[in-house]
Structure 1
Amino acid sequence: MPRVSFILTVAMLSAFGLIASDVYLPAMPSMTIEFGVADWQMPQTVSIYLLALAIAQLVYGPLSDRYGRKPLLLAGITLYMAGSLGCAASDSYVGFLAWRILEAVGAASGLVIGRALIADTCDKRTSAKVYAMVYPLVSLSPALAPAIGGHLAATFGWRADFLCVAAFGAMALLMVLTLLPETLPVQDRTRTSPFTGFGHVLRDRTFCRYTLVVCAIYSAWFVYLTQSPFLFARQGLSEEQSGWLYLPLTAGIIGANLLAKRLLDRWPYDRIITAGIVFFVLGGVAFLAVGALQLQGTASVILPMCLVSLANGSSLSLAVSGAVASEHGHVATASGLVGFCQIGSAALVAMGVSAVFGTGVGVLGDAVLALGLLALFTCLPWSGYRKKVV
């Protein structure tokens, strides 16, 4: 197993994207007023950030296979910090979007190279165990970032949220410089064009099936992240109060992840993934029940999503590990591709749901159930998904 310092550094890098996307969620209603835009436009700042984050991952993966992990990582963290500072200084909606794109391009380096660092140093099953340690730490960000961001926004204004993100980037930069070795020796780097590995990875059916599971779970999660601030605001909750409502979901993610780590030595890999997806579907069914019974209050939103969080904590991390460490032989390229599909699909789905259907508990529930059924279909015997994973 890798050293604790290595695992902590990878966790910091892997949390880049989520912290920057989640920290200002409670402040979005007030930012809507300050920028003078409609309610549906502020969730688009998350979606556009995610699209940029997705596309940039396609570049970092092949380039780091060619030139090494650490140089690309240092450049990316620098862009991440610059974009965060730019967001804090923005005085218009368009300017804010531009800096968000730069911030996303920098954040992509941590996501792609973090996964590649694990695959460089571990075999497939050990990689899954490392993910099971990294992911609980990463999973704290969707809860802690909105909670911290809500208090910062209420006390100092929403711009303080992005100064906090820039400080996080500075901490990660220091850890990379002092604790992280280069994990890809010169003799192991690709000599051909850095983008030739895409074809090899995309022809791997195992990669494609795991990636579809990842996309379904992550899209449901970001539909919730972009819908929930407005659902809570309509219930009269303040920014600080709504920020803390992400904690129960994180508890579910961490609990499911720790359980999945224990089950790795007892259950087949794919059985654990399928079990998590069953809870995903049950979350969608619970939303249907909420709508049918016309239940009100924050519990009617939080409790169904707690079931979905169990899939996020178990199936998501294992499917990412399986996709990256498959038999294609292009680790960082696969990491970039799975990240592109994961983030890109979440961005498009979240943006499409809010733009076409608006915001509401019914909209959220329908989206969760549809995505859960898609993931479950991927796990059915005729899909070929239930191939033995060593």
Structure 2
Amino acid sequence: MPRLTFILTVAMLSAFGLVASDIYLPAMPGMATEFGIASWQMPQTVSFYLLALAIAQLAYGPMSDRGGRKPVLLAGGVLYLLGSVGCALSSSYMDFIAWRMVEAVGAAAGLVIGRALIADTCDKRTSAKVYAVIYPLVSLSPALAPAIGGHLAVAFGWRADFLFVAAFGAVALLLALFLIPETLPVAARSRNAPFAGFSRVLGDRSFCRYTLVVCSIYCAWFVYLTQSPFLFVQAGLSEAQSGWLYMPLTLGIIGANLLARRLLDRLPYDRIVAIGITCFVLGAMAFLLAYAMGWHSVTAVVLPMCLVSLANGSSLSLAISGAIASEHGHAATASGLVGFCQIGSAAVVAMGVSAVLGTGFGVLAGAVAVLSCLALFACMPSLYRKQPAQPG
């Protein structure tokens, strides 16, 4: 296992994107009023952010394979800081979206390089154990960020949320520059065309299967994140109160991560993934039951998502590790691709759901149900058959 400083630093780099995407969720209704826009338009700021975050990851993988990890990370970190400060200073909705996209392009460096650092130093099973340590730390951000952001917004206004994000990014970047060595020696750097490894990675059946699991769970998570603030407002909760309602989900993610780490030495890798997906399906069924019975309370919103969070903590982290460490042999390119698919699908689905269907308990329940079926499909035995090795 890598040393503790490595794990903590990579966890902070991996949290770049989540902290920035989640911190202002409780403040979105108030921001919509200040910008003079409809309530359904604020979730689009999350979707645009995720879309830019997804596309940027496609470039960071090949760039870091050719130029090394740390120079690329430094460039992305600077963009992240500029974008965060720009969001804090925005005076209009369109300005805010533009700076959010700059922030997202910078955040993508932390996600891709963080996963590449793990792949550079660990094999598949060891990397899964490292993710099982890192992911609970990263998973704190979806709960703590809205809680912190809600209190900051109440005390100082929503702009303080993005100044906090900038400070977080500056600390993470300094730790990476001074505590993490360059993990890709010059001799090991790619001399091929920048995107030459894409076809090899996309032709790997294991990569595709694991990536489908990742996308399904992550889309469900972001549909919840963009729908739930408005459900909580309808229930009469304040920004600070609703921010703390993400904490039970994080506890579920952390607990599932810790359990998955223990099970790695006892059960087959894919069986653990399947157990997590079973929890995902049960959570979706609970959402549908609550909607059918007319149970639209805060408890009916949060408890089913706690079941889904168990899949987020187990299947999601293991599937990311499996996709990157599969037999394709292009770890950084795979890291960028799985990140693109993960974030890009979440952006498209969250944007489409809110734009086409609006916000509501039924919208949330239906979307989670459909996505759980896709994750279940990825566990079908026919997708596990060994594929012939491809030429390099």
TM-score range, shorter chain: over 0.9
Which residue does 2:390 correspond to in 1? Answer: none
In the TM superposition, what is the alpha-carbon distance from 1:297 to its structure 2 partner?
A: 1.6
In the TM superposition, what is the alpha-carbon distance from 1:295 to its structure 2 partner?
A: 1.0
AA aligned to 1:275 is I
The 5 A counterparts of 1:347-362 are: 347-362=347-362
Q: What whole-Å deviation, never above 9, does each CA across 1:299-351 have from its counterpart, x for those lacking one?
A: 00000000000000000000000000111111100000000000000000000
Aligned length: 387
Which residue does 1:41 correspond to in 2? Answer: 41
Which residue does 2:165 correspond to in 1? Answer: 165
Question: Aligned to 2:86, what secondary structure does the other structure show?
Answer: helix
Q: What whole-Å deviation, never above 9, does each CA across 1:254-298 have from its counterpart, x for those lacking one?
A: 000000000000000000000000010111100111012111321
Question: Aligned to 1:40, what secondary structure does the other structure show?
Answer: helix
2:294 corresponds to 1:294 = yes
2:100 corresponds to 1:100 = yes
In the TM superposition, what is the alpha-carbon distance from 1:116 to its structure 2 partner?
A: 0.4
Runs of 4+ in 1 over 6 A off after TM superposition: none
In 2: Cα distance, 1:386 partner to 1:205 partner? 8
Q: 1:386 to 1:148 in 2, by over 3 A?
A: farther
Contact 1:270 1:386 survives alignment (8 Å): no
Which residue does 1:272 correspond to in 2? Answer: 272
Which residue does 1:309 correspond to in 2? Answer: 309
Which residue does 2:119 correspond to in 1? Answer: 119
In 1: Cα distance, 2:91 partner to 2:139 partner? 31
Q: What whole-Å deviation, never above 9, does each CA across 1:97-138 have from its counterpart, x for those lacking one?
A: 000000000000000010000000001100000000000000
Which residue does 2:72 correspond to in 1? Answer: 72
Contact 2:52 2:105 survives alignment (8 Å): yes
Which residue does 1:339 correspond to in 2? Answer: 339
In 1: Cα distance, 2:96 partner to 2:296 partner? 35
Question: Aligned to 2:46, what secondary structure does the other structure show?
Answer: helix
In 1: Cα distance, 2:349 partner to 2:273 partner? 22
Q: Among all aligned residue pairs of Structure 1 and Structure 2, give the percentage whose two residues are the same amino acid.
A: 75
AA aligned to 2:346 is A
Which residue does 1:155 correspond to in 2? Answer: 155
Which residue does 2:190 correspond to in 1? Answer: 190
Which residue does 1:329 correspond to in 2? Answer: 329
Question: Aligned to 1:363, what secondary structure does the other structure show?
Answer: helix
The 5 A counterparts of 1:124-143 are: 124-143=124-143
Contact 1:206 1:385 survives alignment (8 Å): no
In the TM superposition, what is the alpha-carbon distance from 1:194 to its structure 2 partner?
A: 1.5
AA aligned to 2:259 is L
Q: What whole-Å deviation, never above 9, does each CA across 1:140-170 have from its counterpart, x for those lacking one?
A: 0000000000000000000000000000011
Contact 1:80 1:103 survives alignment (8 Å): yes
AA aligned to 2:31 is M
Question: Aligned to 1:181, what secondary structure does the other structure show?
Answer: coil
In 2: Cα distance, 1:177 partner to 1:206 partner? 33
In 2: Cα distance, 1:192 partner to 1:316 partner? 31
Contact 1:8 1:134 survives alignment (8 Å): yes
AA aligned to 1:352 is G
In 2: Cα distance, 1:192 partner to 1:275 partner? 40
Q: 1:8 to 1:282 in 2, by over 3 A?
A: same
Which residue does 1:255 correspond to in 2? Answer: 255
AA aligned to 1:176 is A
AA aligned to 1:69 is R
In the TM superposition, what is the alpha-carbon distance from 1:384 to its structure 2 partner?
A: 2.7
In the TM superposition, what is the alpha-carbon distance from 1:87 to its structure 2 partner?
A: 0.1
In the TM superposition, what is the alpha-carbon distance from 1:221 to its structure 2 partner?
A: 0.2
Q: What whole-Å deviation, never above 9, does each CA across 1:79-98 have from its counterpart, x for those lacking one?
A: 00000000000000000000
The 5 A counterparts of 1:211-250 are: 211-250=211-250
In the TM superposition, what is the alpha-carbon distance from 1:64 to its structure 2 partner?
A: 0.2
Which residue does 1:365 correspond to in 2? Answer: 365
2:16 corresponds to 1:16 = yes
In 2: Cα distance, 1:135 partner to 1:87 partner? 27
In 1: Cα distance, 2:313 partner to 2:227 partner? 21
In 1: Cα distance, 2:343 partner to 2:74 partner? 22
AA aligned to 2:331 is V
In 1: Cα distance, 2:249 partner to 2:97 partner? 28
Question: Aligned to 1:15, what secondary structure does the other structure show?
Answer: helix
Question: Aligned to 1:136, what secondary structure does the other structure show?
Answer: helix
In 1: Cα distance, 2:347 partner to 2:177 partner? 32
In 1: Cα distance, 2:72 partner to 2:330 partner? 17
Q: What whole-Å deviation, never above 9, does each CA across 1:34-71 have from its counterpart, x for those lacking one?
A: 00000110000000000000000000000000110000
AA aligned to 1:342 is Q
AA aligned to 1:71 is P
Contact 2:13 2:173 survives alignment (8 Å): no
In the TM superposition, what is the alpha-carbon distance from 1:385 to its structure 2 partner?
A: 6.5
Contact 1:222 1:346 survives alignment (8 Å): yes
Structure 1 stretches of 5 or more lacking a match?
Answer: none
Question: Aligned to 2:295, what secondary structure does the other structure show?
Answer: coil
